[in-house]
Chain A
Amino acid sequence: ETGVTQTPRHLVMGMTNKKSLKCEQHLGHNAMYWYKQSAKKPLELMFVYNFKEQTENNSVPSRFSPECPNSSHLFLHLHTLQPEDSALYLCASSQETGPRTYEQYFGPGTRLTVT
Protein backbone atom coordinates (compact mmCIF):
# COMPACT_ATOMS: atom_id res chain seq x y z
CA GLU A 1 0.00 0.00 0.00
CA THR A 2 1.73 3.15 -1.19
CA GLY A 3 -0.90 5.60 -0.02
CA VAL A 4 -1.61 6.75 -3.57
CA THR A 5 -4.66 5.34 -5.29
CA GLN A 6 -5.72 5.67 -8.90
CA THR A 7 -9.04 4.95 -10.59
CA PRO A 8 -9.92 3.39 -12.87
CA ARG A 9 -7.14 0.83 -13.19
CA HIS A 10 -8.04 0.09 -16.78
CA LEU A 11 -9.81 2.28 -19.33
CA VAL A 12 -10.69 1.74 -22.95
CA MET A 13 -12.02 4.75 -24.82
CA GLY A 14 -12.73 5.82 -28.34
CA MET A 15 -11.10 8.84 -29.90
CA THR A 16 -14.24 10.93 -29.54
CA ASN A 17 -14.92 10.07 -25.91
CA LYS A 18 -14.33 12.23 -22.84
CA LYS A 19 -13.10 10.54 -19.71
CA SER A 20 -11.24 11.41 -16.53
CA LEU A 21 -8.53 9.71 -14.52
CA LYS A 22 -8.51 10.20 -10.77
CA CYS A 23 -5.66 10.13 -8.28
CA GLU A 24 -5.91 10.44 -4.52
CA GLN A 25 -3.10 10.51 -1.99
CA HIS A 26 -3.51 9.79 1.71
CA LEU A 27 -0.01 10.87 2.75
CA GLY A 28 -0.55 14.51 3.59
CA HIS A 29 1.62 15.60 0.69
CA ASN A 30 1.44 18.94 -1.09
CA ALA A 31 2.85 18.06 -4.51
CA MET A 32 1.30 15.77 -7.11
CA TYR A 33 2.46 14.61 -10.51
CA TRP A 34 1.19 12.94 -13.67
CA TYR A 35 3.56 10.71 -15.65
CA LYS A 36 3.07 8.81 -18.88
CA GLN A 37 4.71 5.40 -19.22
CA SER A 38 4.93 4.07 -22.76
CA ALA A 39 6.62 0.86 -23.83
CA LYS A 40 10.39 1.17 -24.31
CA LYS A 41 10.43 4.88 -23.45
CA PRO A 42 11.44 6.65 -20.27
CA LEU A 43 8.68 7.81 -18.00
CA GLU A 44 7.56 11.21 -19.20
CA LEU A 45 6.62 13.86 -16.70
CA MET A 46 3.41 15.56 -17.81
CA PHE A 47 2.26 17.90 -15.06
CA VAL A 48 3.33 19.01 -11.60
CA TYR A 49 1.17 20.65 -8.96
CA ASN A 50 2.51 22.14 -5.75
CA PHE A 51 0.02 23.38 -3.16
CA LYS A 52 -2.73 23.10 -5.82
CA GLU A 53 -0.87 25.34 -8.24
CA GLN A 54 0.40 23.96 -11.54
CA THR A 55 4.15 24.47 -11.63
CA GLU A 56 5.04 22.40 -14.65
CA ASN A 57 3.42 21.58 -17.96
CA ASN A 58 5.86 19.54 -19.96
CA SER A 59 4.58 20.53 -23.41
CA VAL A 60 1.59 18.24 -23.09
CA PRO A 61 -1.08 18.45 -25.82
CA SER A 62 -4.25 20.27 -24.83
CA ARG A 63 -6.31 17.09 -25.19
CA PHE A 64 -4.92 16.30 -21.71
CA SER A 65 -6.28 18.69 -19.08
CA PRO A 66 -5.22 18.37 -15.43
CA GLU A 67 -7.18 19.55 -12.44
CA CYS A 68 -6.06 19.74 -8.82
CA PRO A 69 -8.96 20.84 -6.59
CA ASN A 70 -7.01 20.23 -3.39
CA SER A 71 -3.69 18.78 -2.29
CA SER A 72 -5.12 15.28 -1.99
CA HIS A 73 -6.77 14.91 -5.38
CA LEU A 74 -5.54 15.15 -8.92
CA PHE A 75 -7.50 14.54 -12.10
CA LEU A 76 -6.52 14.12 -15.71
CA HIS A 77 -9.34 14.96 -18.09
CA LEU A 78 -9.09 13.32 -21.49
CA HIS A 79 -10.82 14.27 -24.73
CA THR A 80 -10.33 13.49 -28.41
CA LEU A 81 -7.32 11.30 -27.72
CA GLN A 82 -5.21 9.54 -30.33
CA PRO A 83 -4.18 5.87 -30.42
CA GLU A 84 -0.60 6.88 -29.58
CA ASP A 85 -1.88 8.18 -26.26
CA SER A 86 -2.40 4.59 -25.17
CA ALA A 87 -0.09 4.08 -22.19
CA LEU A 88 0.09 3.60 -18.45
CA TYR A 89 -0.61 6.88 -16.66
CA LEU A 90 1.03 7.12 -13.28
CA CYS A 91 0.24 9.55 -10.51
CA ALA A 92 2.77 10.39 -7.82
CA SER A 93 2.96 12.64 -4.78
CA SER A 94 5.70 14.10 -2.62
CA GLN A 95 5.92 16.34 0.41
CA GLU A 96 6.37 19.30 -1.91
CA THR A 97 8.55 20.42 -4.76
CA GLY A 98 11.64 22.55 -4.39
CA PRO A 99 15.37 22.13 -3.90
CA ARG A 100 15.21 19.41 -1.27
CA THR A 101 15.06 15.79 -2.36
CA TYR A 102 11.59 14.68 -1.44
CA GLU A 103 10.73 11.09 -2.24
CA GLN A 104 7.93 10.57 -4.72
CA TYR A 105 5.31 7.91 -4.00
CA PHE A 106 3.60 6.37 -6.99
CA GLY A 107 0.15 4.96 -7.52
CA PRO A 108 -0.48 1.72 -9.44
CA GLY A 109 -1.39 3.53 -12.63
CA THR A 110 -4.29 3.57 -15.08
CA ARG A 111 -3.80 1.45 -18.19
CA LEU A 112 -5.40 3.50 -20.99
CA THR A 113 -6.20 2.10 -24.40
CA VAL A 114 -7.47 4.44 -27.11
CA THR A 115 -9.29 2.71 -29.94
Chain B
Amino acid sequence: GNSVTQMEGPVTLSEEAFLTINCTYTATGYPSLFWYVQYPGEGLQLLLKATKADDKGSNKGFEATYRKETTSFHLEKGSVQVSDSAVYFCALRARTGANNLFFGTGTRLTVIP
Protein backbone atom coordinates (compact mmCIF):
# COMPACT_ATOMS: atom_id res chain seq x y z
CA GLY B 1 0.00 0.00 0.00
CA ASN B 2 0.84 3.67 0.04
CA SER B 3 1.94 5.46 3.19
CA VAL B 4 4.15 8.26 4.42
CA THR B 5 6.09 8.40 7.67
CA GLN B 6 7.53 11.67 8.84
CA MET B 7 9.37 12.63 11.98
CA GLU B 8 7.21 13.53 14.91
CA GLY B 9 7.39 17.01 16.25
CA PRO B 10 7.24 19.44 17.54
CA VAL B 11 10.53 20.86 16.35
CA THR B 12 11.79 24.08 17.92
CA LEU B 13 14.74 25.93 16.38
CA SER B 14 16.41 29.25 16.81
CA GLU B 15 16.37 31.67 13.91
CA GLU B 16 19.05 30.93 11.29
CA ALA B 17 19.41 27.29 12.41
CA PHE B 18 19.51 24.43 9.92
CA LEU B 19 16.31 22.47 9.46
CA THR B 20 15.78 18.85 8.52
CA ILE B 21 12.42 17.12 8.64
CA ASN B 22 12.65 13.46 7.72
CA CYS B 23 10.14 11.77 5.46
CA THR B 24 10.10 8.20 4.19
CA TYR B 25 7.48 6.53 2.08
CA THR B 26 6.08 3.22 0.98
CA ALA B 27 4.43 3.05 -2.39
CA THR B 28 3.60 0.78 -5.26
CA GLY B 29 5.53 1.89 -8.29
CA TYR B 30 7.22 5.28 -8.43
CA PRO B 31 5.14 7.99 -6.81
CA SER B 32 5.33 11.75 -7.01
CA LEU B 33 6.38 13.33 -3.72
CA PHE B 34 5.32 16.60 -2.14
CA TRP B 35 5.86 18.85 0.83
CA TYR B 36 2.93 20.95 1.94
CA VAL B 37 2.98 23.72 4.54
CA GLN B 38 0.10 24.84 6.74
CA TYR B 39 0.42 28.23 8.39
CA PRO B 40 -1.76 28.97 11.43
CA GLY B 41 -5.42 29.33 10.50
CA GLU B 42 -4.85 28.49 6.86
CA GLY B 43 -5.19 25.53 4.55
CA LEU B 44 -2.34 23.52 3.10
CA GLN B 45 -0.13 25.10 0.48
CA LEU B 46 2.15 23.21 -1.85
CA LEU B 47 5.74 24.02 -0.89
CA LEU B 48 7.66 21.86 -3.35
CA LYS B 49 7.43 18.65 -5.29
CA ALA B 50 9.48 16.04 -7.16
CA THR B 51 8.06 13.65 -9.70
CA LYS B 52 10.90 11.21 -10.33
CA ALA B 53 13.98 9.76 -8.68
CA ASP B 54 16.88 12.16 -8.06
CA ASP B 55 14.70 15.20 -8.74
CA LYS B 56 15.23 18.06 -6.31
CA GLY B 57 12.26 20.24 -5.45
CA SER B 58 12.98 23.70 -4.10
CA ASN B 59 11.05 26.78 -3.06
CA LYS B 60 11.53 29.67 -0.59
CA GLY B 61 14.92 28.27 0.48
CA PHE B 62 13.52 24.81 1.20
CA GLU B 63 14.80 21.76 -0.66
CA ALA B 64 14.03 18.07 -0.83
CA THR B 65 15.55 15.36 -3.02
CA TYR B 66 13.66 12.30 -4.19
CA ARG B 67 15.79 9.33 -3.08
CA LYS B 68 14.50 6.08 -4.53
CA GLU B 69 17.20 3.93 -2.93
CA THR B 70 16.26 5.06 0.57
CA THR B 71 12.59 5.84 -0.22
CA SER B 72 13.05 9.23 1.35
CA PHE B 73 12.17 12.87 0.67
CA HIS B 74 13.68 14.83 3.55
CA LEU B 75 12.94 18.55 3.80
CA GLU B 76 15.87 20.90 4.46
CA LYS B 77 16.48 24.59 4.85
CA GLY B 78 19.81 26.16 5.60
CA SER B 79 18.63 29.08 7.70
CA VAL B 80 15.12 29.18 9.11
CA GLN B 81 13.18 32.32 9.91
CA VAL B 82 10.43 33.02 12.41
CA SER B 83 8.01 33.22 9.48
CA ASP B 84 8.73 29.55 8.69
CA SER B 85 6.85 28.48 11.82
CA ALA B 86 4.11 26.20 10.54
CA VAL B 87 3.12 22.56 10.18
CA TYR B 88 4.85 20.68 7.37
CA PHE B 89 3.29 17.67 5.65
CA CYS B 90 5.02 15.14 3.44
CA ALA B 91 2.76 13.49 0.88
CA LEU B 92 2.86 11.13 -2.04
CA ARG B 93 0.72 10.52 -5.05
CA ALA B 94 0.81 7.05 -6.56
CA ARG B 95 1.30 6.70 -10.30
CA THR B 96 -1.81 4.64 -10.73
CA GLY B 97 -5.36 5.49 -9.81
CA ALA B 98 -6.93 8.84 -9.14
CA ASN B 99 -5.15 12.00 -8.10
CA ASN B 100 -5.25 11.03 -4.43
CA LEU B 101 -2.63 12.23 -2.00
CA PHE B 102 -1.39 10.20 0.95
CA PHE B 103 -0.15 12.40 3.77
CA GLY B 104 2.09 12.00 6.78
CA THR B 105 0.96 13.16 10.20
CA GLY B 106 2.64 16.55 9.91
CA THR B 107 5.54 18.11 11.81
CA ARG B 108 5.06 21.35 13.68
CA LEU B 109 8.01 23.71 13.42
CA THR B 110 8.44 26.66 15.75
CA VAL B 111 11.25 29.11 15.09
CA ILE B 112 12.18 31.42 17.95
CA PRO B 113 14.04 34.72 17.54
B32 adjacent to chain A (CB < 8 Å):
yes
State whether A103 and B43 are in contact (beta carbons under 8 Å apart), knowing that A42-B102, A48-B100, A55-B98 are contacts in the complex: no
Shortest distance from the beta carbon of B84 to any chain A beta carbon, whole Å: 19
Contacts of B44 in A (CB 8 A): 43, 90, 92, 106
Contacts of B86 in A (CB 8 A): none
Residue of A whose beta carbon sits closest to that of B90: A42
Per DSSP, chain A at the interface is loop
Q: Give the size of the chain B interface in residues (CB under 8 angstroms).
A: 24
State whether A48 and B98 are in contact (beta carbons under 8 Å apart), knowing that A4-B43, A101-B51, A106-B43 are contacts in the complex: yes
The answer on a CB contact under 8 Å between A2 and B103 is no
Q: Which of B62-102 contact A (CB under 8 A)?
A: 89, 93, 95-96, 98-102
The answer on a CB contact under 8 Å between B89 and A43 is yes
